[in-house]
Structure 1
Amino acid sequence: MSSELFNANPTVFSSTKSTSSRITEHSAQSLWLRDQNDNSDTESEGNEVEEIDQDEIFDLIRTIYDPEHPNTLEELRVVSAPQITVGRNHIKVEFTPTVPHCGMSTLIGLSIRVRLLRSLPSRYKVDIYVKPGSHQSELSVNKQLNDKERVAAALENPPLVDTVEKCLAKPSSVAFQLV
């Protein structure tokens, strides 16, 4: 990874209060594929399906850290609740890079995808996109983020997985070194 900062002086905003979420992260899950024998996501009690809303998805991704700065995606206004669309079994997240030439956009999108894959029942299809017109390589970034084989290949790269884990880390365990 390059030591060049794509946005050396980002604008930082205050975060909003967190609402309680009914979704918890599965820390023992793999990054991409779920265990074939794991039935925890199935509807075990009748046909009762717990609905997930936009605010719960926002709560999951708002605390992801930017790969370049010790700030969350919410603080940098990379993600917001209105950028999330929730359907019956489909979630679309749109994010806004801090600069149009951000080289970390695919890493940010990958971090969002991993957090949602770890946290949501497997019945959900997740699409991650950069906000239209917000990145100079918008089509390429969107293609990488939504291609299952590319994502799986990226998650087999140990240094990349380590970086994603740092972005997903809890605040007390995050240690960023800006060069």
Structure 2
Amino acid sequence: MSATIPLEEVREKKEDPELKLMQETVYDLIKDIQDPEKPQTLEDLAVVYEDGVTVERIDEDQYLVNIEFTPTIPHCSLASIIGLCLRTKVQRGLPDKHKIDIFIKKGTHSTGDEITKQINDKERIMAAMENPNLRELVDRCVKDED
């Protein structure tokens, strides 16, 4: 059963300048991530978009960052890699006082629910990043261009 958030609370969140700044900061971090197989950024390919980033306050100085993305095709074999890149870039770019949840937009990938589960599982993330080839691919995708 889903809880209903009072309209005043929704307005308050949207009007909170600190949350808006954090949302913009997160989007600025992820928009320039390179696609793992194409020479464009995730923003260029419309994989990430401003409306896909939301930030909520968990407590006084901790945030919940939600990132929704849309793979380029419904059977995209690199969707989990893209999720890993998103997580890595945000973790490296923000202070430790945040929780990150990453989601594939509903209905845009044939195994979206399974991949969403994978990219939010700490143990799977740690295991994936222990693979040197995978870590190198992620590092290449999230590297800041000079």
TM-score normalized by structure 2?
0.81
2:75 paired with 1:106: no
Q: 1:150 aligns with which of 124, 134, 137?
A: 124
* CA–CA distance in structure 1, aligned partners of residues 26 and 90 of structure 2: 8
- Is 1:68 aligned to 2:61, yes or no? no
Name the one with the larger strand percent: 2
Superimposed CA distance per residue, residues 108-139 of structure 1 (whole angstroms, 9 cap, x where no aligned partner)? 00000000111111110000110010000011
Between the aligned partners of 2:49 and 2:39, the Cα distance in structure 1 is: 18
Given the alignment of the two structures, is residue 58 of structure 1 paired with residue 32 of structure 2, yes or no? no
Q: Which residue number in structure 2 is paired with residue 33 of structure 1?
A: none
Partner SS state of residue 53, structure 1: helix
Percent of aligned pairs with the same residue? 45
Tell me how far 1:170 sits from its aligned partner.
3.0
Among candidates 33, 54, 68, match of residue 94 of structure 1 = 68
Equivalent AA in structure 2 for residue 153 of structure 1: A
Alignment-mate amino acid for residue 98 of structure 1 = T
1:121 aligns with 2:95: yes
- The residue type equivalent to 2:89 in the other structure is R
Q: Distance in 2 between matches of 1:124 and 1:169?
A: 21
Work out the number of aligned pairs and report it. 123
Greater RCO (CA < 8 Å, at least 6 residues apart): 1
Looking at structure 1, the residues matched to 138 and 89 of structure 2 have their Cα atoms a distance apart, in angstroms, of 9
Offset at residue 171 of structure 1 (A): 3.4
- Unmatched tracts of structure 1, length 5 or more: 1-49, 173-179
Which consecutive residues of structure 2, in runs of 5 or more, have no partner in the other structure?
A: 1-17, 58-62
